[in-house]
Amino acid sequence: MTSTKADIDHSYSLSNEFFRLWLDDNMHYTSASYITGEETLEEAQWNKCRILYEYAEITPDKLVLDIGCGWGANLAYLVKRGVKRAHGITLSTAQAEYARARNLPGVTIFLGDFFEFEPPELYDALQSIEMIDHVVSPEQANQGLAVDLYRNYFKRCWEITKPGAFFGFQAILRDRVPRNRKDLEDLKFTADVIFPGGLNPRLEELIMAIRPYWECLEMRTQRTSYRRTTAEWLKRLRANEAIIRAKWGDRVFEDYDRYLSTCVRAFDSYWSSDVQMKLRRCDEAL
Ligand SMILES: C[S@@+](CC[C@H](N)C(=O)[O-])C[C@H]1O[C@@H](n2cnc3c(N)ncnc32)[C@H](O)[C@@H]1O
């Protein structure tokens, strides 16, 4: 079983107000891209959007789909860049409500499972920012199904795009396994308690799975950017400790503190990384 609607609501629908306290102003819940190292979290999040905008070769007249659009932060960027029509899909009810309430001109938000989504028309460009970590469960990976299931995702992406489409894709990666029990327990806690049903892909699995539907033209990894992003989230979470404990209870604060501290350590220690890819649709090869 991969992340179900209940899993997704557990991970993302706790409370929009809670996430608003420690994410950036626009509610990006994925790695920012620190380029100069001098940026604020907010500026680094726009860097990420710009990179993925360029990777997807978006222009204002193109119809774009953001798969796993969260609270609509990247869609807000598209509108800022003059994109006239964009769609977003999320499996989280609270995110869909929040994204719709932004009233972004030309933007339609779909609430539902991407794998059951029948788009009203084909897309010129795709973007997906760290949704693929919900596509394969740890049990499925143990059964050797990961590459087939990721390929099924990329096939669906191929089916809903027009020839000539580009895809700006970002994924959190699992690289190395820690050696000591405490670190393993913290990672297991993050997987089981914060993101049930999810699993970060390995880079080599993604490289195998994109073919024969997409080819990777460019790729950049940004482990240290994710370290800085999660460190900033942790700082903001702690700055709001009293409010969080009062409103959502000690357990929520302590769980999120443990999860974000584990993330910082995971990026510091090379257990995890993050990748951005520029993918081009293979139109002729099939
Ligand atoms: C880590 S969040 C990233 C959100 C957003 N892209 C961002 O950058 O902030 C993962 C997103 O994937 C969505 N998601 C996961 N599985 C999904 C599915 N099967 N169909 C649609 N959305 C899904 C979640 O609802 C959530 O919005």
Q: Flag whether pLDDT at 11 surpasses 90.
A: no
Q: Residues near 109 by Cβ (< 8 Å), separated by ≥ 6? A: 69, 72, 75, 87, 88, 89, 90, 96, 99, 100
- The 10 Å Cβ neighbour count of residue 63 is 20
Quick check: 90 and 68 in contact, CB under 8 A? yes
Mean pLDDT of 246-250: 94
Residues of the chain with pLDDT > 90, as a percent, come to 86
The tens digit of pLDDT for each residue in 161-192 reads 999 999 999 999 999 888 899 999 989 888 88
Task: Provide the pLDDT for residue 15.
Answer: 87
Going by C-alpha positions, the residue among 114, 132, 134 that lies closest to residue 123 is: 114
Task: State in Å: Cα 70 to ligand 1 middle.
Answer: 5
Please list every protein residue whose CB sits less than 6 Å from any atom of ligand 1: 3, 8, 12, 28-30, 68-70, 73-74, 89-92, 95, 113-115, 129-131, 134
- Predicted TM-score (pTM) of this structure: 0.96
SS3 assignment, position 28: coil
Cα-to-centroid distance, 269 and ligand 1 (Å): 26
For residue 285, pLDDT over 70 is answered with: no
SS3 call for 48: helix
CATH entry 3.40.50.150 includes domain 5-280 = yes
